[in-house]
C-alpha cells in the first residue's frame, strides 16, 4: 500500500483465547488506509494459526513478523522498525479497540498536526460480563488546547490522572523516528519510560474525551502479578526517569510522588531500601508530606507499616 495513514502494531504471545476479538476489532477500520503489523513473539500456542487466518483474509492490510520470544518491548520495537503509517497505534493482543473511535482519533491528530493524540480507555475484568470502568480523562486535560507534552502530562498528574500507558494513544511516526523513541527491553511496565520520554519531547499534544481502548484485566497478566522481575523493573524505571529529569533540566515536582510510590512498592515487595534513590528524592525536596513519609518508612526498613 502507498500513503498508509495508520500503522497498528500488535505484539502477540500466548493469547489465543483473546486474539480473535482483538484483531476483529482492528480490522473493522473503515475509510482509511492502514496496516496491521502482527508480531508473533514466539507464541507457543495456537496464535500462529489465527495470525495466518487474518493474513489470508486481509492480505493487503497485514504485515507479519515472526521472531523468537524476546518480550513485549522487543516485539513493539520490531513493529516500529517496519511501520510505514503516518501515525502509529499500539494495541496489546489481549485487549480490543473501538475502530470508529480510532478513526476519529486519527482525524483529530491529522487536523491538528499532533505528535501525540490520546483518548480514554475502559478497563474490563475477565469473566465479569459487562462490568467496565471508564478511565475518564479529567476535563482540565481535555479542555487544554494543543500544547506541549510536558504541560499536558503535568496537568494530567495534577488532576489525578496518572495513567502512564502507551496504548490509548497514537503517535506521529516521524516524531517517533526523529526522537529515536523505542521501548526499553528486558523490563516490565515498559510503558512508563517510553511515555515519559515521548511527552517530554513532544511539542504538539492533545487529549480527547473519546472512548477508544478496552483494557482487559485477567489473572496471570503482567499488571495482576507481582514477582521479582516487576520489583527490579520499578527500580530501573525510577532511575531512567530521574536521569531524564537531569537530561532535560526538569526541576518540577509533579512526578516525585508517583516515583516515590513506585519505590515504596518495591520496598514492600523486596524489603530493599535503595537508599541512594531515597537520598535523591530527599535532596530534591519536592515530594508531598505523604511522599516524604513513604521515604521515612522505606529508610527505617518498615515500608509495609505505611498506610496505603
Q: What domain range is 277 assigned to?
A: 226-302
Q: Is it the case that residue 227 has pLDDT exceeding 70?
A: no
C-alpha cell at 167: 496504548
Residue 252 CB neighbour total at 10 angstroms? 11
Read off the pLDDT of each residue in 9-28 and give the average, rounded to a whole number. Answer: 97
DSSP state of 113: T
pLDDT tens-digit series, residues 79-91: 999 999 999 999 9
- Rounded Cα–Cα distance for residues 52 and 40 (Å): 11
- Rounded Cα–Cα distance for residues 193 and 191 (Å): 6
My answer on whether 136 and 104 are in the same domain is: yes
For residue 189, tell me if it sits in a domain.
yes
For residue 1, tell me if it sits in a domain.
no
pLDDT at 132 (0 to 100): 76
Domain limit, last residue, from 223, 239, 254: 223
pLDDT at 225 (0 to 100): 47
Domain limit, last residue, from 194, 223, 252: 223
Domain limit, last residue, from 199, 223, 247: 223
Chain mean pLDDT for the chain: 93
pLDDT at 1 (0 to 100): 56
Let me know: does 22 contact 91? Beta carbons within 8 Å. Answer: yes
Residue partners of 146: CB distance under 8 A and separation at least 6: 112, 114, 204, 205, 206
Amino acid at each position: 500500500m502507498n500513503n498508509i495513514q495508520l500503522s497498528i502494531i500488535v505484539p502477540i504471545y500466548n493469547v489465543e483465547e483473546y486474539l480473535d476479538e482483538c484483531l476483529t476489532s482492528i480490522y473493522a477500520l473503515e475509510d482509511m488506509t492502514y496496516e496491521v503489523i502482527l508480531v508473533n513473539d514466539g507464541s507457543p500456542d495456537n496464535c500462529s494459526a489465527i495470525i495466518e487466518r487474518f493474513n489470508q483474509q486481509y492480505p493487503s492490510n497485514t504485515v507479519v513478523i515472526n521472531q523468537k520470544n524476546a518480550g513485549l518491548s522487543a516485539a513493539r520495537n520490531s513493529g516500529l522498525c517496519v511501520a510505514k503509517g503516518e501515525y502509529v497505534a499500539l494495541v496489546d493482543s489481549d485487549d480490543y479497540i473501538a475502530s470508529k473511535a480510532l478513526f476519529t482519533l486519527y482525524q483529530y491528530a491529522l487536523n491538528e498536526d499532533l505528535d501525540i493524540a490520546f483518548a480514554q480507555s475502559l478497563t474490563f475484568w475477565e469473566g465479569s460480563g459487562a462490568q467496565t470502568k471508564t478511565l475518564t480523562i479529567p476535563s482540565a486535560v481535555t479542555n487544554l488546547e494543543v500544547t506541549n507534552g510536558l504541560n499536558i502530562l503535568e496537568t494530567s498528574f495534577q488532576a489525578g490522572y496518572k495513567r502512564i500507558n502507551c496504548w490509548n494513544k497514537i503517535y506521529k511516526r516521524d516524531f517517533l523516528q526523529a526522537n529515536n523513541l523505542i521501548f526499553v527491553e528486558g523490563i516490565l511496565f515498559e510503558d512508563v519510560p517510553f511515555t515519559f520520554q515521548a511527552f517530554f519531547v513532544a511539542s504538539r499534544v492533545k487529549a480527547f474525551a473519546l472512548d477508544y481502548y478496552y483494557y482487559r484485566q485477567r489473572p496471570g497478566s503482567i499488571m495482576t502479578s507481582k514477582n521479582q522481575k516487576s520489583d527490579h523493573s520499578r527500580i530501573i524505571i525510577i532511575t531512567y526517569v530521574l536521569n531524564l529529569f537531569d537530561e532535560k533540566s526538569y526541576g518540577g515536582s509533579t512526578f516525585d510522588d508517583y516515583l516515590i510510590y513506585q519505590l515504596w512498592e518495591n520496598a514492600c515487595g523486596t524489603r530493599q531500601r535503595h537508599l541512594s534513590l531515597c537520598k535523591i528524592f530527599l535532596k530534591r525536596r519536592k515530594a508531598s508530606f505523604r511522599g516524604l513519609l513513604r521515604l521515612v518508612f522505606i529508610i527505617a526498613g518498615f515500608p509495609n507499616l505505611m498506610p496505603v
